[in-house]
């Protein structure tokens, strides 16, 4: 067994300190469980931030990766590969989009979407139409273009001047968006559920209103489904609950169940914006990642996991609402869609303390915003495991109540 203290000492010497990890080192996973170097088991209710949709070491994913690695792991995009073509066709069929560009991550997908929107107007002889309108509390990635679109100042402070032409308005305020969009606006970018911003679903009618606004003005609608896509909401895309079809769609996280891959998809009308040589990626769409994504799709269908996410999400959200009612001094409420749920803590409650107490009880969750506990478990999770998480959270909140009295 690996020596935990030795590994932590190496981490302290060699890793950039951009994260505040607890003194745990994970070595393996199985289903919805993770195991550390000391052999302790943890119920994983955040799945690598909504990434491991099939849980850990799912046999279908392991098999697909093993078989593909033995055939062809990587080939540059100077040539087609069979898995990339098959995945592109499936993505278009599932999303209603027409063309795909593969990336390695969500932030790269959003960068590509930004470039496409701006270059579209360049090809239409309107090169000054470069404005991008995003929303406050949003999160779109860490690279310079994506972080400029991110509506949370802490992510872009200290990195110099932001990308010009990018601005934010209040999330859910259609009138504010109408006032901001003008003849210099190229695109609106929006999350159907703000993940990092606090697991905040779009208000009823908001996404349809944005679609109508874009149709009226010629602005492209970019929908960021990096966290909400791949069945997490109870449909393949969260915008499908609202009947909205974007002009550009970005995906990543759960797309290949833990293998790095992202994609932006575009309607045919705008595809000509990115002609040969205008965009590229060395690793994007390589056979190994695409084979993993195809295995994820096949498993989602075979095991009914998207429909299950809707049912299990409703079950879990009801349980969170019950905890909010039981602990009103500590919890303001619960919200979410499918298996992306948040518990909103009272202003005086520090989320990190709850995360630590849950970890001590063998349950891993994440934080969104300042006061929201985020739950994004694997879609294979059972109701019994959800009950286990709820019971642990109830115990933590009960202990906090006792300590306060």
Residues annotated as catalytic (active site), given as ranges: 139, 224, 253
**What sign does the CA torsion over 253, 232, 152, 210 have?**
positive
Q: Are 24 and 362 in contact (CB under 8 A)?
A: no
* Torsion sign over Cα 66, 68, 70, 76: negative
- Tell which residue, 71, 65, 111, has the closest CA to residue 289: 65
Nearest Cα residue to 99 out of 273, 346, 220, 332: 273
Beta strands in 230-278 (DSSP E): 248-251, 262-266
What backbone torsions phi and psi does residue 193 show, to the nearest 5 degrees?
A: -135, 125
Closest listed residue to residue 88, CA positions, set 74, 76, 102, 78: 102
* CA pair distance 195, 350, nearest whole angstrom: 19
Q: Are strands 220-224 and 200-201 parallel, antiparallel or unpaired?
A: unpaired
**Residue 292, helix vs strand vs coil:** helix
CA 83 to the chain's CA centroid: 23
Chain Cα centroid distance, residue 6? 33
How far apart, in whole angstroms, are the C-alpha atoms of residue 318 and residue 148?
36
Cβ atoms 226, 262 nearer than 8 A: yes
């Amino acid at each position: 067994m690996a020596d935990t203290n030795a590994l932590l000492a190496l981490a302290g010497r060699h890793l950039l300190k951009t994260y505040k990890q607890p003194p745990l080192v994970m070595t393996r996973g199985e289903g919805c469980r993770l195991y550390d170097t000391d052999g302790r088991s943890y119920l994983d209710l955040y799945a690598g931030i909504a990434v491991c949709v099939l849980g850990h070491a799912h046999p279908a994913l392991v098999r697909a990766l093993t078989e593909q690695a033995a055939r062809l792991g990587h080939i540059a995009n100077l040539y087609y590969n069979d898995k990339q073509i098959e995945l592109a066709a499936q993505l278009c069929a599932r999303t209603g989009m027409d063309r795909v560009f593969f990336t390695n991550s969500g932030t790269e997908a959003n960068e590509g979407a930004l470039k496409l929107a701006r270059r579209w107007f360049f090809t239409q002889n309107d090169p000054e139409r470069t404005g991008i309108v995003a929303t406050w509390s949003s999160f779109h990635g860490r690279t310079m273009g994506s972080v400029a679109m991110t509506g949370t100042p802490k992510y872009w402070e200290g990195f110099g001047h932001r990308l010009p032409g990018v601005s934010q308005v209040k999330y859910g305020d259609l009138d504010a968006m109408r006032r901001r969009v003008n003849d210099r606006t190229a695109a609106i970018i929006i999350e159907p559920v703000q993940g990092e911003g606090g697991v905040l679903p779009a208000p009823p009618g908001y996404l349809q209103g944005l679609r109508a606004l874009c149709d009226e003005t010629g602005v492209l609608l970019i929908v960021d489904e990096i966290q909400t896509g791949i069945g997490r909401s109870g449909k393949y895309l969260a915008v499908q609950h609202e009947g909205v079809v974007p002009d550009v769609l970005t995906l990543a996280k759960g797309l290949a169940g833990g293998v790095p891959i992202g994609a932006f998809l575009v309607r045919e009308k705008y595809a000509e914006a990115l002609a040969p040589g205008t965009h590229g990626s060395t690793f994007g769409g390589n056979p190994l990642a695409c084979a993993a994504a195809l295995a994820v799709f096949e498993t989602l269908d075979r095991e009914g996991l998207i429909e299950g996410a809707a049912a299990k999400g409703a079950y879990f959200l009801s349980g969170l609402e019950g905890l909010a009612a039981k602990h009103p001094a500590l919890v303001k409420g619960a919200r979410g869609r499918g298996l992306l749920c948040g518990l909103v803590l009272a202003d005086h409650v520090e989320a990190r303390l709850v995360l630590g107490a849950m970890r001590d009880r063998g349950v891993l969750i994440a934080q969104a915003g300042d006061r929201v506990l985020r739950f994004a478990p694997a879609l294979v999770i059972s109701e019994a495991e959800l009950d286990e998480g709820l019971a642990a959270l109830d115990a933590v909140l009960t202990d906090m109540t006792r300590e306060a009295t």
